[in-house]
Structure 1
């Protein structure tokens, strides 16, 4: 059972458990950890502007003064899972998050899916974020 909207951080554990129950793990533990870390950082960069330089392939020209949509201080990932996306070389990071926008409106339970493809760079397999469309 999911917590009511507006529950705050107290409801995050229930959301995480609901995601894990609904979508059983299917990635190697190391891949899942990497994807979760990357997915959280990528979402934070997208929503708050913090760390966009780490993702030049996703945020080309991000130094041009694009104002972030959400306050970095009032942003949190409530829950996240990483799972295969149909093929072994594709994954999706499913994130549920909360944030306060520039106008001061706060909302939780926002959902974002970020997609990654596994490729090889210099013989080393790496997960590469796919541009959002």
Structure 2
């Protein structure tokens, strides 16, 4: 392939701080660099669960949906670590070394921390497993 064609195929990442208009190029970049290895419906389901889990972890809202991650204690007031959370891009792929029953959801997101600083291009990987014989995915505990 001539050099011009090769460079045209590369997705350029926008600079930090570009806001929502950067989301689409980041999504294209993830999809280009990590080819899909899950059925589209499974990937869509995992991306949605990953986004919900990230928001629950970052903001404290919705943690009751993930008792395997946050415990089964009654919900209490949690001072959110972040607000204005926006998922910029997300993909779900088979987890390395996890076989057919483990997946990783790779999220790029933006949010405002407690100090009022808004940053984009934050990266989080969340892991899910699918018990054999079921079609349901379960979130694995977050790393410490």
Q: TM-score surpassing 0.5?
A: yes
Q: Higher strand fraction: Structure 1 or Structure 2?
A: 1
Task: Give the one of 104, 109, 114 matched to 1:97.
Answer: 109
Consecutive unaligned residues in structure 2, runs of 5 or more = 1-11
Residue 125 of structure 1: CA displacement?
2.5
Q: Higher helix fraction: Structure 1 or Structure 2?
A: 2
Consecutive unaligned residues in structure 1, runs of 5 or more = none
Residue 49 of structure 1: CA displacement?
1.2
| CA distance, structure 1, for counterparts of residue 120 and residue 89 of structure 2 | 11
Aligned length: 129
After TM superposition, the score normalised by the length of structure 2 is: 0.85
Q: Name 2:27's counterpart in structure 1.
A: 16
Partner-residue secondary structure (3-state), 1:88? helix
Residue 126 of structure 1: CA displacement?
1.3
Contact 1:56 1:62 survives alignment (8 Å): no
Residue 132 of structure 1: CA displacement?
1.1
Greater C-alpha radius of gyration: 2
Q: Name 1:69's counterpart in structure 2.
A: 81
